[in-house]
Structure 1
Amino acid sequence: MADPGSPDPARSSSSMSKQSLSLKGHSKSKRISSTPVPSDISLDVPEVAVEKEKPVSEEDVSAEEVDSYTKRLREAFKQHLALSGISKESWTEESERALDKFISDTSVRLLIVYHDPFTGLRVDYAMPAQVVEQMSFLIRAEDSIITEESFRSSVQFGSMRGGAIEGLLRLMNGIHTPQVTLSTAWPETAKNNYSVELHRFITKLTDSRCRHLGITVLYVPLEALQHRPEEAVVNKSLVRRLEMVMIHWTRQIKAVLSAQFESDMGDTSGLLEEISFWKSRCADLDSISKQLQKPGVCHIQAILQLYTSTYIPPFCELAKQIQVQPSTYLLVCVCP
């Protein structure tokens, strides 16, 4: 019988064994937790992905503002394109991208918009190779950034319709001539020499354009309207150019009057043709009479009169004849 005070060997052994294991376990656990992890071993602890609501970033807001700003600028450009037969549906993504590039890229200075009968609306950066009925053009000022505020000051725009002569005349009178006349960057000698040739070219171009219409137009140079007569007479180069213009006016009026007398001596095809001829001549003379009373013509006449130009007397004599001739020719038209 075992002594109750002495421990049971089996139990003691078992108890000791369990305790030893327990202690070993604790000590091993402590050693593992206290031992540093080698640098070449990574412990990747998987994180629980929590979907968070992302706030609207400033980049998203600015992107919307830029997109809205580009659309407004794009619409401003479209409003200045004077093309018939063009609707909102005519604009494709490709053509709008070409327009956006012109707006944003300062190296692109010319934009041409026209309607191609085969491909539809075209937006190019150069003049079309083929002849087109109508087109609009936009020209960027050098190195200028186009904004809503600077649109009118940084972009020149216009349109060309019809034949080459009509389009070129509108281009010269509407864009090129004002740039030359109002520019202060030209050297005076170079500007004077160029202005002489410019007036000659536009005068001939105007005559060619109006000859097809059966009318006579007196060309009035823009530079004549920039100075008061007292200031203009001091500029001898300007006076010479204005005298050249008046000489051409005199020749034009003489040609119209001489055509009347030549017609009187020529053969006519018939009474109706004769009446039609005199009516057209009467309308042309009446148009010249009205042009002689316009401020531009009167202003040049006042400058040359103050200068006492020798070309004033013959011009004034023809002007008087023009005032009388329309009523005389009207009687001929009514009672041939």
Structure 2
Amino acid sequence: MITGRNYLDAESSDEDSPGKPRRVTDETLQVSAKPRVSYSTDELEALTNYIKGLITLRDLQPSDWNKSVITAIQEFIQYPDERILSIYDCGGLIGSSNFPTVPVHELTYFVRTNDEIFTSKNLPDTILFGTSNSNVESTISQLMETMLAPSFFIITRWPESVKADFCNMLHDYLCHLTDLRYKMHGLTVMYLPLEGNKLHYKDASTNQEFVKRLEKIVVQWTRQIKLALVDQQQLTNYELLTLYDEYDFWIYRCKYLSEIFFFSSSKITIIC
């Protein structure tokens, strides 16, 4: 646990004995003080409203906002060393710089990617955010894709071989998790990797390990599309008893395959 008091490993002097008050110097105050960014009233209000607009808790009403939540949001904005902001309902709307220690039904989280100073221009690019709820598969998928995976992808202190192995396993996990998440709803949705989305295409094309990882994901896409195309063969004849059954089936097939076409004609082109 992090506390506000520092203990010295070396021998303590009489000054630091428990029975005497500790002497506070200017240097001590300078080290312990948290860096705070000053904003004008309009700037702070604009940034606060922007973050409030990203909170998507169910049945959230304007009357639910209270002073402590607004204060938590503004402290997250003003103090660059505040890395986490979580907003959730636990007998009332709560804003905290940590995740809750008790189970909650729904939570919106914000994570600062670096010690960035927020502005109206860079705020969307310097925070990771999302909403988690009691849907386990959806929650894990969102947390991994939007918060944890992007943090792993930008790590530079790992050896290349270690990072390549880890990223391969991470992409495999997210591919299967995404497939499981949507297959339970009768949909085929393909995992879209966020690794390298900020790289210039020339830099990305010369990174052989990165290209191999994308090629492996494309193979998974191909496998999913083939399974979707043979979906008709998975139905037996007796399931289509009437013309209405046949009609409903082809409406479902049209919608099903149109979604795959939309994905292949839009999102894939972003990373190629």
Q: TM-score range by the shorter chain?
A: 0.5 to 0.7
Residue 220 of structure 2 corresponds to residue 248 of structure 1: yes
1:156 to 127, 150, 170: 127
Q: Secondary structure at the match of 2:187?
A: coil
- Structure 2 match to 1:83: 56
Q: Secondary structure at the match of 2:265?
A: coil
**Quick one: distance in 1 between partners of 2:230 and 2:168?**
28
Over the residues paired in the alignment, what is the CA RMSD in angstroms? 3.8
CA contact (8 A) 2:109 2:130 kept: yes
CA shift, 1:78, in A, is 3.9
1:112 to 57, 79, 86: 86
- Structure 2 match to 1:202: 174
**Quick one: distance in 1 between partners of 2:271 and 2:122?**
34
**Quick one: distance in 1 between partners of 2:97 and 2:79?**
12
1:284-310 alpha-carbon deviations (Å, 9 max, x no partner)? 22322343333625965xxxxxxxxxx
1:194-252 alpha-carbon deviations (Å, 9 max, x no partner)? 210121121112112221332222333234664648962x5442343233212212221
Runs (4+) of structure 1 exceeding 6 A deviation are: none
- Structure 2 match to 1:132: 105
CA contact (8 A) 2:56 2:131 kept: no
Residue 69 of structure 2 corresponds to residue 95 of structure 1: yes
1:91-140 alpha-carbon deviations (Å, 9 max, x no partner)? 33333444455455666432211234xx221112333332424x322224
List gaps (5 residues or longer) in structure 1: 1-65, 301-336
Q: Secondary structure at the match of 1:221?
A: coil
**Quick one: distance in 2 between partners of 1:149 and 1:279?**
45
Change in CA separation of 1:245 and 1:229 when aligned onto 2, cut-off 3 Å: farther
1:166 to 118, 133, 138: 138
CA contact (8 A) 1:146 1:154 kept: no
Aligned identity (percent) is 26
Residue 186 of structure 2 corresponds to residue 214 of structure 1: yes
- Structure 1 match to 2:165: 193
**Quick one: distance in 1 between partners of 2:232 and 2:125?**
50
Matched pairs, number: 229
Change in CA separation of 1:187 and 1:91 when aligned onto 2, cut-off 3 Å: same
Larger CA Rg, structure 1 vs 2? 1
List gaps (5 residues or longer) in structure 2: 1-36
With 147-156 and 248-257 compared, the bigger mean Cα shift is at: 147-156
Residue 256 of structure 2 corresponds to residue 284 of structure 1: yes
Change in CA separation of 1:297 and 1:89 when aligned onto 2, cut-off 3 Å: closer
CA contact (8 A) 1:113 1:136 kept: yes
**Quick one: distance in 2 between partners of 1:286 and 1:201?**
26
TM-score, length of structure 2 as denominator length: 0.65
Which structure: greater helix fraction? 1
TM-score, length of structure 1 as denominator length: 0.54
**Quick one: distance in 2 between partners of 1:217 and 1:257?**
14
Change in CA separation of 1:69 and 1:243 when aligned onto 2, cut-off 3 Å: closer
**Quick one: distance in 2 between partners of 1:251 and 1:293?**
17
